[in-house]
Amino acid sequence: MANYSTNEFRSGLKVMLDGDPCSILDNEFVKPGKGQAFNRVRMRNLKTGRVWDRTFKSGESLEGADVMDTTMEYLYTDGEFWFFMEPNTYEQYQADAAAVGDTHKWLKEQEPCEVTLYNGTPLSVSPPNFVELEITETDPGLKGDTAQGGSKPATLSTGAVVRVPLFISQGEVIRVDTRSGEYVARASKS
């Protein structure tokens, strides 16, 4: 991989640091009037998700990381691994629990999602921003309470639990924002 110097650091650039692939979020050039120039770099460790500020001497360089974001189709899980398919090549990839993390609760079979590959293996998986899932369990719906704005927990087909308005019943399909884990709307049943 190429090396990148601090003046090439841009938001989104993937580099290796302390043996882990990292994504650069922000890069600030800092220089006292006379003296050493620094770059204060905000980065995310793509393995742990941790975000932190690290200071470098200006002109220092880091090795690029072989990291690629690809849209793949989620196939199934065997309990230990989650399987994804690259839709153009039909090549299959297996991701472990560390890569999938909390995302598993939004994964719906045959739906596309973003898989980040590092050296050819899944490093992390991101769900689409919105998913539509069926409610498998919730308290019975109540009529006439739409104005109250109360909510209740509902378990979805993937196991995720979200709060839904009281009038929603079991068996309905709802739209959820995966970034906040919040109910958005009823989805039209297909």
Residue 57 as a binder of another protein (CB under 8 A): the answer is yes
Cβ 109 to another protein, closest distance in Å? Answer: 41
Residue 76 as a binder of another protein (CB under 8 A): the answer is no
Residue 163 as a binder of another protein (CB under 8 A): the answer is no
Closest to another protein by CB, 33 or 49: 33
Q: Which of 33, 79, 120, 140 binds another protein (CB under 8 A)?
A: 33
Q: Which of 8, 16, 23, 37 binds another protein (CB under 8 A)?
A: 37
Residue 173 burial (CB count, 10 A): 15
Binders of another protein in range 3-32 (CB under 8 A): 7, 17-18, 28-32
Residue 56 as a binder of another protein (CB under 8 A): the answer is yes
Options 52-60, 124-132, 140-148, 153-161: segment touching another protein (CB under 8 A): 52-60
Cβ 34 to another protein, closest distance in Å? Answer: 5
| Cβ density class 129-141: b for 16+ within 10 Å, e for less | eebbbbbeebeee
Closest to another protein by CB, 65 or 125: 65
Q: Is the dihedral of CA 48, 51, 52, 58 positive or negative?
A: positive
Query: Phi/psi class of residue 145: alpha, beta or left (left: φ > 0; alpha: ψ in -120 to 50)?
Result: alpha
d(CA 186, CA 167) in angstroms, rounded, equals 10
Residue 55 as a binder of another protein (CB under 8 A): the answer is yes
- The first and second tokens of residue 169, run together, are 């019943």
Residue 78 burial (CB count, 10 A): 8
Q: Please classify residue 37 by burial: count the beta carbons closer than 10 Å to its beta carbon, then call 0-12 exposed, 13-18 middle and 19+ buried.
A: middle
8 Å CB contact between 163 and 139: no
Residue 136 as a binder of another protein (CB under 8 A): the answer is no
Binding site for another protein (CB under 8 A): 7, 17-18, 28-38, 40, 52-59
